[in-house]
Structure 1
Amino acid sequence: MLKFNNTSEIEPLEGILGQERAIEAMEKGLKIDNPAYNMYLAGDSGTGKTTYAMSALNKYAAKKGSHKDWCYVYNFENNREPLIIGLEKGLGKIFKKDIEKLIETLLDELRDAFESEDFEIGKNQLIEEYEIEKDALLKKIKKYAEEKGFKLKNSKVGMVFMPIEENKEDEEAEDDYADEEFYKVKRELENAAIQVVYKIRDLEDAAKEALLELEEEIAKYVIDPHIDGLIEKYNGYEKVKMYLNNMRDDILEYVYLFYMDEEELKDKYDREHFMKYKVNLFVDNGIDRENFKAPVIVEINPSPANLFGKAEYDYYNGNVKTDFTKLIPGAVHKANGGYLVLYVDQLLRYPLSWDMLKRAIQSRQISVDTQTSIKPENMPIDIKVILIGTNYMYNLLYNNDDDFSKYFKIFVDFDNEMDKNENNEDGIARFIAYQCEKNKLKHFTYDAVGEVIKFSTRLCGDKYKLSTQFNKIMEIIVEGDACAQIRNAEYVDKYDVQNAILERKKRLNRIENKMDESLENGFTLIETKGSRVGVINGLSVLSTGEYSFGRPSRITVTTSPGNKGIVNIEREVNMSGPIHNKGVLILGGYLAETFAQDFPLSLNANICFEQNYGGVDGDSATGAELYALLSSLSKIPLKQSIAATGSMNQKGEIQVVGGISEKIEGFYSTCKKQGLNGNQGVIIPKNNSRNLVLSDEVTEAIETGKFTIYTVERVEEAMEILMDVKFDEVKRLVIERLRGFNELQSPSKK
């Protein structure tokens, strides 16, 4: 690192460190404006992928301005299919207020207009003209009837004609009624009366029509200036103009509702009529008038309703009712014109959401699934979806979902490690400076930063790499600050960082302590001194959540004549995983090629991890198993002071294994408890040398000769270290033993 006294003297890190490949992929994906180029961000937890993604998205969102406000309005042509209107961002709220103000204004002005003196005069004039013409028709029929000797009477059944002379005696009247001429005249009058009734009805219809025309004329006089003003204001939006024209026609048709008193509007259907003139500001992107950046929406619970919206309901006597004003947007609607961030593990909890999302990306439109009789118009969408998940989930989707690769073409892979170089070490120092400034922590000294870098290297298990799991590094920063506060120091020093790491270990190593107690009490049989035939200390790594530690395991091998071959006892009782089974089978291949080229290989060999009650997997013990097997066959004892780890192939080459530092420290701890004598150590693959990131105590023990690390490339090297015998001698003894087994199995010996 560059020299500094403490991190307050250096520039804090802005951005992400050690993810150049991921940054390049992210930038490429954000620049491509294509609906198929959505992105999948993969990487381990804590690598900063979410933080970086949000930073990058907000940066691009500030440059992008294609997003809009969206409103749902009433469809006057089909009330079951509400219309959606897209407006320039910030204009949606204005449009909503304009329509509200329009209706309020029309309610006042139309009520005033229809209560005015001019309207009453015009209305009364029409009614008077109707009454005059009606009276003229009635007088005319009445006069005609009188001329014929009848008088006109109105009854519940209509016009009735009665003879004028009603004082004749009954007999004379009956003679008159019987007169044929009398009935002829009466029928004539009745027919004339029917014609008058029809004419009166025509007059009434004409009067109503004239009254409606008068109402419409006055209504237009009031309405048109306001509607025309809004049409001019929203001249660039054809859908708004169509909506306003349809609204004008609807208001004119139901204008009587606008001048009714509240008491007159008792019918709920009349009251709900005005709901048609509301605007549902569905998506408002004009909330922040000073910053019109594109939306960046993160949905942590992507249920179908949360992603694609829903409709609220009202209940009337057990019936469900909804309308366009009760439509609520989902995350996809809100992210329209911008970016939608989803976590894959949460998204796949809702298979329907995943299917609907793919359909939306494909069709580039989305609606609201109301599950009712209304069907809102689809919203056209322009959206980029960013999925955040693991590499495992990426492979799962890629291999099992044919649509995934069609719609998520940009893979952004965040690495969990970076090269250990001066630039990245400086970057960690600047990261610490940034976190100290941001979270009001004590700054770190140069040596304290060095301890954090060492911790980062250990997380990688590679002394030439640094970890990018900054969440774990952040834990040490926070806890180091706490340690410095306890001792009331001005800065966090290396001892605070070391103490924080030690305290973290104490919180997590309960199982390790229990196993140490078992070893100390003699319950676990491990020897770190002397020699044994067919017995070796193998090394394994145990994990308990986020904490891993190394532990020696005694491996024993017994051999005898027979044809069973190499028997993996763990496999026989279903306690061995497939990788370990493979490693044991490799032993047979190595034995056959190295020792049994002149005769058939026949033996019984039983391999066992002693005191193993939790199962075993992995191939890191393959080398140790072979060393114990060759010891059992050759009868040459193995040093119990030297443990071994390393995978191997059939050609006898030793291959790298994981958790090498934990394994070495685990055996060192065991040797320390039983007494260090300077002869103890560990055999590891040579290619694992770069993975040694050991504790200060173990490093010091190695430097002072109290503990030794042996690196080997082949089985033969390890055997000579463990036996202090040349491998040629071991080979001679093994061949001799195997040949004897074969002879015992030959037919002549049976």
Structure 2
Amino acid sequence: MLKYNNTSEIEPLKKTLGQQRAVEAMEIGLSIDNPAYNIYVAGDAGTGKGTYVLETLGKNAKNKNTHKDWCYVYNFVDQREPIIIGLKRGLGREFKNDIEKLIENLLDEIKDAFESEDFELAKNQLIEDYEIEKEELLKRIKKYGEEKGFKLKSSKVGIVFVPMDEEQEESEPSEIEFYKSKRELESMAIQLIYKIKDLEEAAKKEVIRLEDEIAKLVLEPHIEILTEKYKDYPKVIEYLKKIEIDILEYIYLFYMEEDELKEKYDKEHFIRYRVNLFVDNGAEEYKDKAPVVVETNPTPSNLFGKAEYDYYNGSIKTDFTKIMPGSVHKANGGCLVIYMDQILRYATSWDMLKRVIKSKKISVETQTCIKPEHMAVDFKVVLIGSNYIYNLLYKYDNEFAKYFKIFVDFDNIMDKTEENEYGVAQFVSYQCDKNNLKHFTYDAVQEIVKYSTRLAGDKYKLSTEFNKIMEILIEADAYSKLRDNKYVDREDVKKAISQRRKRLSKIEDKMEESIKKGFTLIETEGSKVGVINGLSVLNVGEYSFGKPSRITVTTSHGNKGIVNIEREVDMSGSIHSKGVMILGGYLAENFAQKFPLSLNAYICFEQNYGGVDGDSASGAELYALISSLSEVPLKQNIAVTGSINQKGDIQVVGGINEKVEGFYSLCNKRGLENDYGVIIPKNNKRNLVLNDEVNEAIEAGKFKIYEIERVEEAIEILTDKPFDEVKKLAEYKLFSFSEIQNTKNK
């Protein structure tokens, strides 16, 4: 690594480290403008995939201006189906304000217009003309009635004619003439009433026509201004036409006095003239930048919106102004980020999301009678999840592969090159600046690199689980402050690592105490037939540690074959059971070519109460089995790990560092005087990143690592005898078992 004194002297990291494959996949996914090319980002927790996604989407969103403002407006044809209008970014708020201002201005101007002297004069003239014509009709019929001897009189039932001379009715010669005239006048009165009603209707229409003319004189200039402003938006033009017609129809509401205006109209009617600014992208943060929306709680309503409502007289009441957007609406024109483990909690959300991607449109699902118009959508969906969930979806969800064609796979390791080691140093520098930590010395960074290698479990790799590295940085900084150092040095890093293990090692300490007190039997001296020390790894949350396990094997003649005691009592995992069955294949090829294999072999992990899985102990089980058959004892000062195949090859295992250190810890407490050591697969050598104490003991010759490739090598190390000699003894025992069994069968 390039030499420096401390990380303040180097440039902070400005790129994603060790994820070139993922970076290239993300770049191509964002460059393809196709609704099927949505992105799934996978990787272990702590690899920085979430941070990378947000930073990359933020950069990609710059200088993009395809997103819009969206408004819901009243549908004057069917109020249950509100209309959606898309406008240029920033114009939505203007449109909302323009309509509000329009109504405010009309309320003032129309009232002023209808209270003006000119309007009153014109209206009074119309009414006066009506009254004059009405009076003229009444005069004519009154005069005609008087000529016939009747006078006109108003009553509760309308206009009636009564005799002017009461004695006229009593005159018998004129009685016929009297009733004839009366009927004639009554008929004329009825016709007069209809004519007066017609005059009234005509007068009303003239007044309404006058009001319309006055209203249009006030309204049309405003509508024309707005029409010109929004001439590029046909749906706005259509809406302005409808609002003009509606205002003219209900013009009387605009000049009523407030105390005359009914509460119903005040609260309900004027709602139709509002604009619901559904999605507002006019804020400064969206200037020349497409929206990037992260939905951490993807319930159906959070993703796809909802309509709020009120309880009114025992019923649910809502309107278009109460329609609320979801994350999908807000992300339209940009990107929507969802964590996969969250959305799978809501099956409805997942199905609806796929439906939106397929149809390229979305509405608001409401529990009420309103059905808002669909919004056209064009956005990129980025899912963040694990490889396990990705594999499940790809296998069981037929639509997943159709709509998420870009797979961005974050690795948890990277090559241990000089460039990447220096990148770790740059990462430390960046975090120091970002989190106000003390800068790290060169030696401290070297210790961080070693810790990263340990996390990777490979001498030639570095870990990309930067959250775990970040924890060490923070804790090392705290120890440095306690020592009042200017910089964080190697000792601070080592203490942070050791103290972290100490905080989490309660279970490990309890187990070591059990071994020390003799409650758990683990022998590390002498030799025993059919007994061997295997090595296992236990995980307690984020903490893992190695634990020696005593494996015993007993054999006898019979036909049960190899009996896995753990499996018989349902304490064996499938992988462990498979490993035990492989032992039978090895025995068949190496010991049963000349005679049938007849034996009972019982394999047991002693004092195991929590179950066992994995095949890393299959080698140890085989060595103990061969020891039991040959009656050649195995050394107890050497522990064993490594799986085998049916051909006797030794295969790599996981957790090699924890296993070696676990056995070393036990041996160290008993004194490193018995030539202690561990047998491991040769191909696991590159995975050895042991702590300083174990390395020092190995260098001093107090602890040994035996690297093997074949079963024969392990047998010779554990018995100090040639494998062929041990094999012959085992073959003799198996032959005798076979003869005994044949005798029994006969």
TM range, normalised to the smaller chain?
A: over 0.9
CA distance in 2, matches of 1:20, 1:301: 30
How many angstroms does 1:749 deviate by? 7.2
How many angstroms does 1:175 deviate by? 4.0
Task: Name 2:379's counterpart in structure 1.
Answer: 383
Alignment partner of 1:205 is 2:189 = no
Q: Decide which of 531, 535, 539 is 2:531's aligned counterpart.
A: 535
**3-state DSSP class of the match of 2:550?**
strand
**3-state DSSP class of the match of 1:63?**
coil
CA distance in 2, matches of 1:51, 1:227: 49
Q: Decide which of 468, 485, 498 is 1:502's aligned counterpart.
A: 498
How many angstroms does 1:269 deviate by? 3.0
CA distance in 1, matches of 2:151, 2:267: 50
Task: Name 1:134's counterpart in structure 2.
Answer: 134
Letter in 1 for 2:127: I
Task: Name 1:726's counterpart in structure 2.
Answer: 722
Task: Name 1:173's counterpart in structure 2.
Answer: 170
CA distance in 2, matches of 1:21, 1:35: 23
**3-state DSSP class of the match of 1:746?**
helix
Classify 1:270/1:447 alpha carbon distance in 2 versus 1 (closer, same or farther; 3 Å).
closer
CA distance in 1, matches of 2:285, 2:461: 47
Task: Name 2:27's counterpart in structure 1.
Answer: 27
Task: Name 2:489's counterpart in structure 1.
Answer: 493
CA distance in 2, matches of 1:749, 1:97: 101
Task: Name 1:692's counterpart in structure 2.
Answer: 688
Alignment partner of 1:677 is 2:673 = yes
Letter in 1 for 2:113: A
* Deviation by residue 1:50-99 (Cα, 9 ceiling, x = unmatched): 10000110011113210011111111121111111111111111111111
Alignment partner of 1:146 is 2:146 = yes
Alignment partner of 1:63 is 2:63 = yes
Map 1:404-419 to 2 at 5 A.
404-419=400-415
Letter in 2 for 1:343: Y
Task: Name 1:716's counterpart in structure 2.
Answer: 712
* Deviation by residue 1:166-215 (Cα, 9 ceiling, x = unmatched): 146xxx728468x3333322222222222211111111111111111100
How many angstroms does 1:271 deviate by? 4.0
Alignment partner of 1:514 is 2:513 = no
Task: Name 1:36's counterpart in structure 2.
Answer: 36
* Deviation by residue 1:269-320 (Cα, 9 ceiling, x = unmatched): 3542111111111111011178331000001011111111111212222221
How many angstroms does 1:731 deviate by? 1.3
Identity of aligned residues (%): 70
Alignment partner of 1:422 is 2:401 = no
Instruction: Kindly indicate whether the alpha-carbon contact (under 8 Å) linking 2:63 and 2:288 is maintained by their aligned counterparts in 1.
Output: no
**3-state DSSP class of the match of 2:545?**
strand
Instruction: Kindly indicate whether the alpha-carbon contact (under 8 Å) linking 1:64 and 1:294 is maintained by their aligned counterparts in 2.
Output: yes
Q: Decide which of 678, 690, 697 is 1:701's aligned counterpart.
A: 697
CA distance in 2, matches of 1:271, 1:651: 87
How many angstroms does 1:747 deviate by? 3.8
Instruction: Kindly indicate whether the alpha-carbon contact (under 8 Å) linking 1:435 and 1:441 is maintained by their aligned counterparts in 2.
Output: yes
Classify 1:267/1:495 alpha carbon distance in 2 versus 1 (closer, same or farther; 3 Å).
closer
Map 1:539-618 to 2 at 5 A.
539-618=535-614
Letter in 1 for 2:411: D
Task: Name 1:110's counterpart in structure 2.
Answer: 110
Task: Name 1:242's counterpart in structure 2.
Answer: 238
Alignment partner of 1:312 is 2:308 = yes
Task: Name 1:263's counterpart in structure 2.
Answer: 259
Instruction: Kindly indicate whether the alpha-carbon contact (under 8 Å) linking 1:623 and 1:654 is maintained by their aligned counterparts in 2.
Output: yes
TM-score by length of 2: 0.99
Map 1:156-167 to 2 at 5 A.
156-167=156-167
Instruction: Kindly indicate whether the alpha-carbon contact (under 8 Å) linking 2:81 and 2:373 is maintained by their aligned counterparts in 1.
Output: yes
* Deviation by residue 1:378-406 (Cα, 9 ceiling, x = unmatched): 11111111110101111111111111111
How many angstroms does 1:266 deviate by? 2.4
Aligned residues, how many? 746
Instruction: Kindly indicate whether the alpha-carbon contact (under 8 Å) linking 1:678 and 1:707 is maintained by their aligned counterparts in 2.
Output: no
CA distance in 2, matches of 1:34, 1:522: 67
Q: Decide which of 727, 730, 735 is 1:739's aligned counterpart.
A: 735
**3-state DSSP class of the match of 1:320?**
strand
Instruction: Kindly indicate whether the alpha-carbon contact (under 8 Å) linking 1:743 and 1:749 is maintained by their aligned counterparts in 2.
Output: no
Instruction: Kindly indicate whether the alpha-carbon contact (under 8 Å) linking 1:684 and 1:709 is maintained by their aligned counterparts in 2.
Output: yes
CA distance in 1, matches of 2:5, 2:681: 40
* Deviation by residue 1:457-500 (Cα, 9 ceiling, x = unmatched): 11111111100000000000000101100000011111100000
CA distance in 2, matches of 1:176, 1:56: 114
TM-score by length of 1: 0.98
**3-state DSSP class of the match of 2:492?**
helix
**3-state DSSP class of the match of 1:206?**
helix
Instruction: Kindly indicate whether the alpha-carbon contact (under 8 Å) linking 1:47 and 1:469 is maintained by their aligned counterparts in 2.
Output: yes
- Higher alpha-carbon deviation: 493-502 or 188-197: 188-197
Classify 1:635/1:147 alpha carbon distance in 2 versus 1 (closer, same or farther; 3 Å).
same
CA distance in 1, matches of 2:197, 2:525: 125
Instruction: Kindly indicate whether the alpha-carbon contact (under 8 Å) linking 2:294 and 2:337 is maintained by their aligned counterparts in 1.
Output: yes
CA distance in 2, matches of 1:159, 1:440: 99
Classify 1:287/1:644 alpha carbon distance in 2 versus 1 (closer, same or farther; 3 Å).
same
CA distance in 1, matches of 2:299, 2:170: 92
How many angstroms does 1:111 deviate by? 0.6
Instruction: Kindly indicate whether the alpha-carbon contact (under 8 Å) linking 1:538 and 1:645 is maintained by their aligned counterparts in 2.
Output: yes
How many angstroms does 1:268 deviate by? 1.4
RMSD: 1.2
**3-state DSSP class of the match of 2:690?**
coil
* Deviation by residue 1:610-637 (Cα, 9 ceiling, x = unmatched): 0101000000000000000000000000
Classify 1:190/1:408 alpha carbon distance in 2 versus 1 (closer, same or farther; 3 Å).
same
**3-state DSSP class of the match of 2:488?**
coil
Letter in 2 for 1:83: I
CA distance in 2, matches of 1:731, 1:232: 100
**3-state DSSP class of the match of 1:93?**
helix
Instruction: Kindly indicate whether the alpha-carbon contact (under 8 Å) linking 2:452 and 2:469 is maintained by their aligned counterparts in 1.
Output: yes
Instruction: Kindly indicate whether the alpha-carbon contact (under 8 Å) linking 1:313 and 1:321 is maintained by their aligned counterparts in 2.
Output: yes
* Deviation by residue 1:349-377 (Cα, 9 ceiling, x = unmatched): 11111111111111111111121111111
How many angstroms does 1:678 deviate by? 5.1
Task: Name 2:294's counterpart in structure 1.
Answer: 298
CA distance in 2, matches of 1:411, 1:148: 105
How many angstroms does 1:227 deviate by? 0.8
CA distance in 1, matches of 2:688, 2:353: 47
Alignment partner of 1:640 is 2:636 = yes
CA distance in 2, matches of 1:727, 1:129: 132
Alignment partner of 1:120 is 2:120 = yes
Q: Decide which of 448, 452, 456 is 2:452's aligned counterpart.
A: 456
Letter in 1 for 2:88: E
Letter in 2 for 1:142: K
CA distance in 2, matches of 1:56, 1:739: 69
CA distance in 1, matches of 2:216, 2:468: 72
CA distance in 2, matches of 1:234, 1:593: 87
